Amino acid sequence: MSLVLRSDFPLPIRLRKHTYNEPLNRLINSVFDDLLPSNAQHEPAITTPRVNVVETEKAFTLEAELPGVRKEDIKISVHEKNVSVEAEIKAKTERKDGENVIYAERTDRKFVRNFKLPANVDESSVEAKLENGILLLTLPKKAEKQAKQITVQ
């Protein structure tokens, strides 16, 4: 099997990972990693964390996978219906004298996810918890203003 690079083909290629073809994906991705220079040393790779968002009568609950992230490295912003979650992992770059890295896959990574929810959130009551690499964000809904009834006298 030979690999032919076409000039009209966008590079670099990253295949979606599925369990039935993951070994093939890793092989193809490693070939392109070897052929193309990586800018991973200068800019962190941006990833989209997997999330679940659940709505109840009173709140939204967001669970996001953030493996290896420390709670100090998470930024959450909430404004009305908009929710943003960002996190960053810095790869260990310190080396002892005499150490020579012969293979490294761990690089700086940045997780970013933005949502627009169907109802306004009460920003003052938002709670966030990080446990075992899962961020649990509780976003209480803002009480909707009811129309004021006026009595005619």
- The tens place of each residue's pLDDT in the chain, 153 residues long, gives 444 444 444 444 444 544 556 667 666 766 665 555 554 445 667 888 899 999 999 999 999 999 989 999 999 999 989 999 999 988 777 777 888 877 777 778 898 999 899 989 999 999 999 999 999 999 999 887 777 788 898
- Between the alpha carbon of residue 101 and those of residues 31, 70, 94, the distances in Å are 20, 25, 11
The correct answer on CATH 3.30.9.30 for the domain covering 40-92+101-140 is: no
The overall pTM is greater than 0.75? no
Which residue from 98, 139, 93, 130 is spatially nearest to 111, judged by alpha carbons?
130
Closest by Cα among 71, 88, 151, 81 to 120: 81
Cβ(87)–Cβ(68) under 8 Å? no
CA distance 136 to 150: 42
